[in-house]
Amino acid sequence: MVQNSDIVYSATQHIDRLMRRVVLLMFGAGVLSVLAIWRLEAIDGRIDPIDRVGYPGMVLVFSASFLALWRFPKVLVYVRWIGFMSITLVLLVDLWQQMRVHAPLIGDYDSLTLWNWLPLCYAMAFFVLAPRHAFMAAAAILVFFACCAVMRGSAGTPWAAQDRALMINTLIAHAVLVVCLTGMVWLKHVVTVQGEQATRLKLLAATDPLTGLANRRLTLQLLDQLARDAPLELAPVVMLCDLDHFKHVNDGWGHAMGDQVLVAVASALRASTRDADTVARWGGEEFLIVLPSTRGLEITELAERLRVRVESLQVADRHQCPVPVTLSIGIARLAARETGSSWLKRADEALYRAKNDGRNCCRIAEPPES
């Protein structure tokens, strides 16, 4: 059932859910990939002392992060940072060691394998961190890579022409990757902002600005939907509520106090109904409550509880003088083959009887004539 707080989902919620799924896939794929490479290098005898620590460490980080995020979705922020920092540090330490080796880079298995894995650091940065942090982390990794290249040249390690070309091309490729990922993050930001703006516009179009309740437009759509689709076994009910002598409040205490009364009544009605029910400001001092399902005498008990709750509201002016607030309620249960407008009309007639019977009371509408 439509609720005022659930009219639309924000774009941020959708992106957070998608981000969690992406990160889960990344961690799951990371475990499988590292295990496969670890096994292949063990068969070929290419595991060095750093890899003996790095591969088990990466598997442990990936696995722990996957389990933590899967079982506890709210730890997404911490898991992202721990996973990113752990994997990145392992790869950067390995990079530092490889660049200090006095051997040509072309054809060196360890160097080429490491450079193939380095883009993972940039991808993780932009997929698991906040945009500003991601850009700073990717720029820092790129600078570190460049510093390693400069360190290799300044340390007197022989540079083959092919090595120099390979290093320059790799740096350029990494820089282009960072630019592309930055553009993707910017696009995500634009989509998020536009989605949140659309959400706010839809929310403004469907809610009353003073009370925050659903407005007349949204509630009319809901009434028509219930009249058309709701089974009569659920016994849907509408309650049309009107504040008694509200004009006296505006005339005697001012419109500011009148608004304060409306907000207090709206809060009381929302707090006294179920989450599945819809409370709407119908117009002026009128409120409409839509109950999609009721049982037996439950409706009369609820209406009386609402009336008493509003009557007991402690609303006072600036001089602490109490402002009297009472409520008249007209109740109508949906009948067979009844339209939303007919259903609402019967509730209005019941409210009119409550007004004529002295106000501050509840009246149930008569069934429609066959």
- Residue 213, Cβ density class (10 Å: 0-12 exposed, 13-18 middle, ≥19 buried): buried
Secondary structure of residue 182 in the 3-state scheme: helix
d(CA 81, CA 98): 26
Please indicate whether residue 285 is annotated as part of the active site. Answer: yes
Residues 60 and 94 sit within 8 Å (Cβ to Cβ) = no
In sequence order, the 6+-apart residues with CB closer than 8 A to the CB of 60 are: none
- The tally of CA atoms less than 13 A away on the side-chain side of residue 285 is 20
Amino acid (1-letter code) at residue 77 = V
- The tally of CA atoms less than 13 A away on the side-chain side of residue 75 is 14
For β-strands 327-333 and 237-243, DSSP reports them as antiparallel
Catalytic residue among 285, 298, 349, 369: 285
Which two structure tokens, joined as six digits, stand for 170?
């790799």
Number of neighbours of residue 67 by Cβ within 10 angstroms: 12
Residues 350 and 364 sit within 8 Å (Cβ to Cβ) = yes
List the alpha helices (DSSP H) in 100-160: 109-128, 131-154
Which H or E run includes 290?
strand 286-291
- The tally of CA atoms less than 13 A away on the side-chain side of residue 112 is 8
Partners of 207 in beta bridges = 214
Q: Report how far apart, in Å, the C-alpha atoms of 125 and of each of 18, 137, 289 are.
A: 16, 7, 49
Lookup result for tokens 């639309």: 8
Residues noted as catalytic: 285
